[in-house]
Amino acid sequence: MKKNQKDILVSTFFITIVAFVLSVGANLASSRFIIPQKTDFYGVLWLSMSNIVLGFFLYFRALKYSSASLIASFTFFTPFVTLIFIVLLLGEKLTVTDCLAAILIIFSVPIQKVGNLVSKKDEQLLN
């Protein structure tokens, strides 16, 4: 049975609003205020459309064709893709921590899949 009995659109909206409130709170607590420029609004629009709208659309489309556990494991690649865009678009240099995080992200899905295969084999042997 599905745990979340609410409409998926309402759930997504609620999650987005909570994330927005937490982000605003974190920014107010740790940043000083500057007047946003026109390009800042373009950046917010780009992030909204590419990460939230397109991301959720692709996520729910993929759920029609594959298991939720497989699709959920690919969401771990989002930070890695973000790192790539930061390097390519902003010219930022990666730190050692960023590189270690990228390596963990890259190998997390294959390691998880191997673990699932081993668990299935163990279950088959016990039965």
Q: Mean pLDDT of successive 10-residue segments in the chain (127 residues)?
A: 65 84 88 85 82 78 80 74 83 86 80 77 73
Residues contacting 31, CB < 8 A, separation 6+? none
Res 21: pLDDT? 92
If residue 2 lies in a helix (H) or strand (E), which one and from where to where? none
Write down the residue that tokens 């759930």 correspond to: 11
Q: What is the pTM of this model?
A: 0.44
The domain ranges of the chain are 66-127
Res 64: pLDDT? 83
**CB-based contact 59:71 (threshold 8 Å):** yes
